[in-house]
Amino acid sequence: MYKLFLPNEFVTSVFEITPEKLYQLGIRGLITDLDNTLIEWNRKDATEEVAEWMQIMKEAGIRIVIASNNSEARVKRFAEPLEIPYVYRAKKPLGLAYKAALEKLELSRREVAMIGDQLLTDIFGAKRLELYTFLVRPVAESDGFVTRFNRFFEKRLFNVLKRKGITMWEER
């Protein structure tokens, strides 16, 4: 059961994910979470670095869709200036958001990876659809209310993974 919460890779930030790495994995599309994955949960717009990373991906032919549990206004404000399609009120880990994102990408599951900062929503939902997964270290130390609740359970999952010998960020 714990395998559904185990990401394929732990990365410190999205900037460790390069087009070359994705091509080696056979990945041509990304579904990415927004809050605490790309930017802090309380930041409204993309940083210059995130915008540049997304542009590099797009120029390399990597398709991107943002899937966020947040409101349309929040996700739209971030995604539209970058010309990135999005799914809002995604209700992750439920599968409908991932399926909607896959439709927007027009790629098979084998060609798509999920990038997120939470085991209980991003990774669990993507693993249920057999997507490749990257768990990033959250970009902010603080979280919104619901995420704080999820982090409580996530700490317990991290402890289980550690006891099973799974190497996470801290041990790298």
37-90 per-position pLDDT tens digit: 999 888 889 999 999 999 999 999 999 999 999 999 999 999 999 999 999 999
The CA distance from 111 to 109, in Å, is 5
Parse the chain into domains and list their residue ranges. Answer: 2-167
Q: What CATH superfamily classification does 2-167 receive?
A: HAD superfamily/HAD-like (3.40.50.1000)
Name the pTM for this structure: 0.84
6-35 per-position pLDDT tens digit: 899 999 999 999 999 999 999 999 999 999
